[in-house]
Structure 1
Amino acid sequence: MSILTNPLYRPLLEIIRSARNGVVYGGKIRFSHALVINLLYRSGPPFPRLKQVLEATKNHAEVLASFAVIYKICCKVLANDALLGPKNSRLIKFLAGAFGSWIVYSQHFNYFHPGITHQITLYCFSRVLIAVGKMALDSYLGNFQPQFKNYTGDIILYDNLTTNQQKKLKQAIYNKSWKYFAVLTWALVMLIYDYQPQYLQSSLRHSMAYIYDVEMETWGSWRELFGI
């Protein structure tokens, strides 16, 4: 029996595989992003700029791989704990995620790149916020059974709607919630950018300056205006 097929080594192989996937994914995402940012917003000799791109790529891959390793190790350790055991998989994953983020994303140890850990955490927060909203809506609809009017004007409970009607109803609520969320988010972003821009994340601040702060620019021709 080889190492790859030996159950004894399976937990270790899973940890190594997660680390490898974190490196690959982080490298792909950050390299393209950092390359575009350098080409658009920065100037200077090409080799120092390329070095910055590679450094950012390494840092992003390091963050994702490190969290993956810590998270998987915690899951394996806690699953064998007598108090928790494999039956409490949700609690195990919650605790493993909390511990991994304390090491990698919280900047408690100041080891990982703060800009990248902030970006990833804020990215996840927006997704978590939307997911929690959807979970709360599903829980409300299922537990409290609100009443709705159908196309004939009759009152009908949520559970008595067809599956397709329930899906359309939830999608309509999701869409309306997203509209308010988008409006409030961008209103606050533009207000903060005008009032206290130093509090915004640096890449967001730079991109907004590039897009919106054009009042002082001058163009001598249509070619200059369109950057041709």
Structure 2
Amino acid sequence: MAGGAMAGGEGSLRALLRAANKLLQQRRYHAALAVIKGFRNGAVYGAKIRAPHALVMTFLFKSGSLREKLKAIAQATYAHSRNLAYFVFTYKGLMAAQSRLQGKKIPFHAFLAACIGGWLVFGENNPINSQIIMYLLSRILFGLSRLAVEKGYIPQPRQDPFPLVAALVWGTVLWLFEYHRETLQPSLQSSMTYLYEDSEVWHDLSDFLLYNKRTDSK
């Protein structure tokens, strides 16, 4: 009796899986299903990116109990994962809607859909969103520079411009850190303080080589 019920349950599960797989193969549902999978991928990718970053930054630069640090890591990971999931869902949904309305996909659709998603999802000025926007901004500048060369808007450089870019970026960021620190993002301030200011202070071999700062009262 019990064996028959178990076999019946397994049969129902297999039938459900077959139905789900059949549904996933239906082309007419592809746009809607792509939006759902985009939400899933956004959530997973956001967690993969934020969790290790939050772990390192929290234990390196934040004070507090272990419980408080773990809570901060969980909150940052959840916020990044949620925002990226919402953005991908919004973007892909708007792309599908525009394509359906106009009967085809055009380049402006991507720009408009992403603008709306960026406003709705990443419009709040907080540390997580700020880091994401700055990450994207640097890559946009590189991408637009390469596109300008490809399209012939600016001439192909005779020499690799990267050394000059590196020099200007480091020169500018250290000048800002030394004289206008408040303009830099907090995590960057923490990193630079550790590298360039904490390295100026020590008392003995322990906080010269083993530790950044002494924890006793010597």
Q: TM-score, normalised on structure 2?
A: 0.80
Deviations for 1:96-144, whole angstroms, at most 9, x for unmatched residues? 111111112232xxxxx7211111111111111111111111222xx89
Distance 1:27 1:175 in 2: 40
Distance 2:24 2:178 in 1: 57
Residues 174 and 226 of structure 1: CA distance in aligned 2, closer, same or farther (over 3 Å): farther
Residue 124 of structure 1 is aligned with which of 116, 136, 139?
Answer: 136
Q: State the percentage of identical aligned residues.
A: 31
Asked if the contact 1:134–1:174 (Cα under 8 Å) also holds between the matched residues in 2, the reply is: no
How is 1:35-184 mapped onto 2 (pairs within 5 angstroms)? 35-82=55-102, 85-88=103-106, 90-107=107-124, 114-140=126-152, 173=157, 176-184=160-168
How has the CA–CA distance of structure 1 residues 176 and 11 changed in structure 2, closer, same or farther, with 3 Å as cutoff? Answer: same
Aligned to 2:10: none
RMSD of aligned Cα (Å): 2.2
Deviating above 3 A after TM superposition, structure 1's stretches of 4 or more consecutive aligned residues are none
State the 1:179 CA deviation. 1.6
The letter of the residue matching 2:48 is K
Uncovered stretches (5+) of structure 2, i.e. residues with no partner:
1-18, 212-218
Normalised to the residue count of structure 1, the TM-score between the two structures is 0.77
Give 1 or 2: higher helix fraction.
2
Task: Render the CA deviation track for 1:128-184: whole Å, top value 9, x for unaligned.
Answer: 1111111111222xx89x8xxxxxxxxxxxxxxxxxxxxxxx6xx496322222111
Between the aligned partners of 1:71 and 1:227, the Cα distance in structure 2 is: 48
- Structure-2 change in CA distance of 1:174 and 1:220 (3 Å): farther
Q: Which runs of 5+ in 1 are unaligned?
A: 108-112, 147-169
Q: Equivalent residue for 1:227? A: 210
Would you say the 8 A contact 1:192–1:200 is kept in 2? yes
* Displacement of 1:46: 0.7
Q: Which moved more, 1:173-182 or 1:30-39?
A: 173-182
- What is the count of residue pairs matched by the alignment? 191
Matched residue, 2:185: 201
Q: How far did residue 205 of structure 1 move?
A: 0.7
2: distance between equivalents of 1:226 and 1:19?
46
